[in-house]
Structure 1
Amino acid sequence: MPRLLWASLALVASVVGTAVTAEPVGWTAPGAGNPLLPGYFADPSIVRHDGEWFIYATIDPWGGETLGLWRSRDFRHWTFSTLNWPTKSAASSPTSNTSRVWAPSVVRARDGRFWMYVSVGSEVWVGVANHPAGPWRNALGDRPLIPGNFRPGYHMIDAEVFVDDDGTPYLYWGSGLNWVNGHCFAVRLKPDMVTFDGEPVDVTPAHYFEAPFMFKANGHYFLTYSWGNTTRDTYQVRYAVGASPLGPFTEPRDAPLLATDSSRNIISPGHHAIARIGTQPYILYHRQALPYPPAGDTVLRQVAIDRLVVRGNRLDPVRPTHAGPVLPGLAKDRGPTRTPRLTASHVVDTVHAAGAAGDDNYATGWDAGKGPAWLQADFGVPMSIGASELRPAFVTSPLTWTLQTSLDGQRWRDVGTARTATGSPIALPVAGRARYVRLVFADAAPILEWRFPESDQ
Structure 2
Amino acid sequence: MLIALLACSMPGWAQEKKTAGNPVFPGWYADPEGIVFGKQYWIFPTYSAPYEQQVFFDAFSSPDLVHWTKHPRILDNQRVKWANRAMWAPAVIKKGKKYFLFFGANDMHKKGEGGIGVAVAKKPGGPYKDYLGKPLIDEVINGAQPIDQFVFQDKDGEYYIYYGGWGHCNVGHLKKDFTGFIPFEDGSIFKEVTPKDYVEGPFMFIRNGKYYFMWSEGGWGGPNYRVAYAIADSPMGPFERIGTILQQDTAIATGAGHHSVIQVPGKDEWYIVYHRRPLGKKGANERETCVDVMKFDADGKIIPIKMTFEGVAPRPL
Would the TM-score normalized by the shorter structure come out above 0.5? yes
Shift in CA distance, 261/323, structure 1 to aligned 2, threshold 3 Å: same
Q: Does 1:69 align with 2:59?
A: yes
AA aligned opposite 2:98: R
4+ runs deviating over 4 angstroms: none
Q: Aligned-pair distance for 1:152?
A: 7.7
CA RMSD of aligned residues (A): 2.2
Structure 1 runs not aligned, ≥5 long: 1-29, 177-181, 331-457
AA aligned opposite 1:144: P
Structure 2 runs not aligned, ≥5 long: 1-17, 108-114, 184-188
1:17 aligns with none
Q: Aligned-pair distance for 1:89?
A: 4.1
Hey, what's the Cα distance between the residues in 2 that align with 1:223 and 1:34? Answer: 25
1:277 aligns with 264
Q: Aligned-pair distance for 1:153?
A: 4.9
- Residue by residue over 1:66-118, the C-alpha shift from the partner in whole angstroms, topping out at 9 and shown as x without a partner, is 10111222322222232343x2344354xx6x642111011123x24211110
2:181 aligns with 196
1:352 aligns with none
Shift in CA distance, 197/39, structure 1 to aligned 2, threshold 3 Å: same
Hey, what's the Cα distance between the residues in 2 that align with 1:236 and 1:265? Answer: 14
Hey, what's the Cα distance between the residues in 2 that align with 1:115 and 1:282? Answer: 23
Give the TM-score of the pair, scaled to structure 1: 0.58
Hey, what's the Cα distance between the residues in 1 that align with 2:213 and 2:38? Answer: 28
Alignment of 1:39-78 (within 5 A): 39-62=27-50, 64-78=54-68
1:337 aligns with none
Shift in CA distance, 84/268, structure 1 to aligned 2, threshold 3 Å: closer
Q: Does 1:303 align with 2:289?
A: yes
Q: Aligned-pair distance for 1:283?
A: 0.6
1:186 aligns with 171
SS of 2:195's equivalent in the other structure is coil
Contact 1:187 1:246 (C-alpha < 8 Å) held by counterparts: no
Q: Which has the larger radius of gyration?
A: 1
Shift in CA distance, 187/325, structure 1 to aligned 2, threshold 3 Å: same
Alignment of 1:100-139 (within 5 A): 100-109=86-95, 111-122=96-107, 123-139=115-131
Contact 1:269 1:286 (C-alpha < 8 Å) held by counterparts: yes
Contact 1:220 1:313 (C-alpha < 8 Å) held by counterparts: no
Contact 1:83 1:133 (C-alpha < 8 Å) held by counterparts: no
Hey, what's the Cα distance between the residues in 2 that align with 1:224 and 1:298? Answer: 22
2:135 aligns with 144
Shift in CA distance, 247/66, structure 1 to aligned 2, threshold 3 Å: same
Q: Aligned-pair distance for 1:298?
A: 4.9
- Size of the aligned set, in residue pairs, is 283
Hey, what's the Cα distance between the residues in 1 that align with 2:262 and 2:77? Answer: 28
- Residue by residue over 1:105-144, the C-alpha shift from the partner in whole angstroms, topping out at 9 and shown as x without a partner, is 11123x242111101113100112221012322221x200
Give the TM-score of the pair, scaled to structure 2: 0.82
Which of 230, 234, 255 aligns to 1:268? It is: 255
1:410 aligns with none
1:247 aligns with 237
Identity %, equivalent residues: 31
Hey, what's the Cα distance between the residues in 2 that align with 1:31 and 1:275? Answer: 17
Which of 175, 190, 193 aligns to 2:165? It is: 175
AA aligned opposite 2:122: N
